[in-house]
Chain A
Amino acid sequence: MQFDLDDERAQLKQATRELLEGESPLAESRALMEQSAEGFSKALYAQLAELGYLGLLLPEDAGGAGVGHVGLAAVLEEMGRVAFPGPFLDQILAIETLRRCPGDEARRWLERALGGDVLVVLARAETLSLDEPAQPETRLADARIVGRKRWVPFGAQADALLVTTDQGLALVPRPDSGWNATPLETIDLAQRFAEIPLAAPGSALLGPAATDAALAEVDRTGALAAAALLLGVMERSLELTRDYTVERQAFGAPIASFQALQHRMADMLIQTEGTRAAVYRAAWATDAEDADAARLVAVAKAQAGDASRFVCGETIQLHGGVGYTWEYDPHIYYKRAKTLEQFYGSTRDALEQLLEASGI
């Protein structure tokens, strides 16, 4: 029995930490998040693609890194720590979807996405509440896709969308006239969403039943990945809190020496470490094709969501007034956590999946 990462994945994690701390420290990436239209560094994304980060889940014989979900979780934990902005996870999920689609067109887009030449993302939601009807209203007929998609991650910047329709999954390349996207700005500075009206040529990739089956698997990876990002978000939030309260003096002592704050931070650690155990257990079970994997992923997502509310919220609280300022970083993590908690399978969805997988 071995819970630690093996050497290969531990080195990957360390290398990712060094890369991100060097190339995407929060002090610099905040400028991108706050001021650029894209919200992320395309150059750094190209570098990540070149280094093989988009192929972490692909087996080695398919040109990937073959480090599985455990390796992906290790990388995402590091990305969570720096509140890494951009569509990394969305691109991974699109790649995971394309891998499950037969046909030359899917393969062509897959190769280009893996190489970082194009940005492909999933476009699924149609409502404002994320409570989606079973059948999408977006229609596919005569090789044209007509409808409206909301919450498309980095949709405005995407080169192609993987769109769910009444006929299953379809691929829509960006029309020459552009997407005509309307930004849906949320509180999270590291994420961009768009609403996109569709009346464009597209091609079918999968029928309805195959789409449901493929996306169920992709969603599982998405939930696990979001939980891993949340783990990094919490880890760093706790570090910020610790550093600040050790530094900050009041009543003639560092405020971290007061038991009321110490116990709060102990609880933050408990929640963070509980999430770590749940995330890596679920990642391992997924790679091992364990019969319990779906249940354990749901556990990890629910735990990470609940825990992040507490940890990121207390980070603001224990920073006091400065925790409520734009200048300090706690709100960056707090807001990041909200996206990761609500999208990629909400806590409510995760709990329902857990019950279902438990036969309840």
Chain B
Amino acid sequence: MDLRYDESQQAFRAELRAWLADHVTRPWTQELRDPANDADALVELRRDFQRELNDAGFLGLDWPVEWGGRGLGPVEKNIFQEETAWADAPPVPNFLGIGLLGPALIHHGSEEQRRRFIPKMLSAEEIWCQGFSEPGAGSDLAGIRCRAEPDGDDFRIHGQKVWTTFGPWADWIFVLARTDPEDRYGGITFFLVPLHQDGVDMRPLRQITGEAEFGEVFFDGALARRAHVVGKLGEGWQIAMTVLAYERGATALLEPAKNDRYLKDLVTGCRENGTLGRPDVRERIARLLADNEVIRANAYRTLATLAAGRAPGPEASLEKLLWTEHARRQSEAAFDLLGPQAQLATRAHHARPEMDWAYEHLWSRAGTIYSGSSEIQRNIIAKRVLALPTR
């Protein structure tokens, strides 16, 4: 065992930390609180920040240099997650492009696709969203009905996608669409589709937080070029699964680092309201701190496995359950321990200056649903890790 960072990893952290100190002039929570920033302005701030990160060479950290990456490994990628979370830096707007599509293109895309799409993805010139889920296919993703019909050499997309995060601001969407209605898994193909065209209707979808970061998109004969199929026809399911697996663990240290900041605010708040000495408050906080360290310990285990070039074992399946369920407990504790102040909208009078607990509390209800609900995660553990019999 050795959980130390090597010298070059430490140097990378120092370089990034110094850069963030210079470039995160205003923490993201402050930007969110500023009434001058409407939803579009916030997206532009995020776009600007992504551009700066890219110019400084901090994006695509574990991608090959020839594709605009830096040729580093999963450890540096996680250092990036950790440092940006601690610094409360603006989140990059193209996180779905960089997180999922980039790896898909690097592993399964053509030379032309990489050249065409990766640079603009990194520079935030083209924002990507993800078209996997449908109204009738969420946890049961292979049940998608959205279809791609041949039209000469190309395809026409018909159907609906939903929960399209960042859809209202996106330029392109990567879509899983059916090219064979009979073959449940082998009939799915991975398409890259421009959103600004006839036959695409992107509608904002308002969430319980009140914001409309999601969209739902309706395709009615939208054009998808043959040259924009990733991999071969019918390889879509396989590509989507390998990319999702690759991404799991690649951001293992992100959530515990965010929690560090959140828990610090919770402690500060309890100190301010004079309850930090109460045994029940202390026990509640201590358990949250302990849980967060368990999540981090598990993340190190995943990270070490990835760094050794191996596929993560059971620890990766647990990861999402651990942190999403922790997030719910943590924000519930904030509501309990900080009282009504935690429920104030971030721009309301008396709202906590460094933490938007109301948003975090509601958002924590999404975590246990998206990217495979907690129930699906437990099914996966039961089947793949414990090898329990199916009915």
Contacts and interface: CB of A to CB of B under 8 A. Distances in A.
A253 interface: yes
Contact of B1 (A2, A273, A298): A2
A43 B378 CA distance: 45
B304 interface: yes
Interface in A138-153: none
Contacts of B267: 360
Interface in B357-385: 375, 377-379, 381-383, 385
A31 interface: no
Contact of A257 (B286, B296, B301, B389): B389
Contacts of A288: 3-4
A132 to B, nearest CB: 18
Nearest to A74: B1
Given A270-B322, A274-B294, A265 B3 contact: no
Contacts of A302: 286-287, 290
Given A263-B378, A351-B283, A278 B276 contact: no
A360 B282 contact: yes
A242 B386 contact: yes
Interface stretch (A3-11, A50-58, A122-130): A3-11
Contact of B315 (A245, A277, A285): A277
B286 A354 contact: yes
Contacts of B321: 266, 270
Interface string B279-313: 00011011101110111111011011101100000
B293 A278 contact: yes
B314 interface: yes
Interface string A2-26: 1111100100000000000000000
A216 interface: no
B19 interface: no
A249 to B, nearest CB: 11
B1 A5 contact: yes
Contact of A1 (B75, B290, B318, B391): B75
A2 B290 contact: no
B289 A270 contact: no
Interface string B318-336: 1001100000000000000
Given A257-B388, A351-B286, A281 B297 contact: yes
Contacts of A283: 1
A182 interface: no
A35 B126 CA distance: 75
B304 A242 contact: no
A355 interface: yes
Contact of A269 (B308, B375, B379, B386): B386
Contact of A266 (B276, B307, B378): B378
A298 B391 CA distance: 42
B389 A269 contact: no
B2 A284 contact: yes
A177 interface: no
A280 B1 contact: yes
Contacts of B389: 246, 253-254, 256-257
Contacts of B390: 257
A278 B294 contact: yes
B303 A273 contact: no
Contacts of A352: 282, 286
Contact of A242 (B377, B388, B391): B388
Nearest to A258: B391
A158 interface: no
A269 B289 CA distance: 21
A3 B306 CA distance: 11
Contact of A3 (B291, B305, B318): B305
B381 A269 contact: yes
A273 B276 CA distance: 31
A279 to B, nearest CB: 8
Interface string A203-243: 00000000000000000000000000000000000000010
B379 A259 contact: yes
A66 to B, nearest CB: 15
A267 interface: yes
B386 A358 contact: no
Most B CB within 10 A of own CB, among A4, A253, A274, A303: A274
Contacts of B307: 1
Contacts of B290: 298-299, 302-303, 350-351, 354
A277 B1 CA distance: 12
Given A253-B391, A262-B386, 14 more contacts: A1-B303, A5-B1, A257-B390, A259-B382, A263-B375, A266-B381, A266-B382, A269-B385, A270-B381, A274-B322, A278-B294, A302-B290, A354-B289, A355-B289
Interface of B: 1-6, 75, 267, 276, 282-283, 285-287, 289-291, 293-298, 300-301, 303-305, 307-308, 314-315, 318, 321-322, 375, 377-379, 381-383, 385-386, 388-391
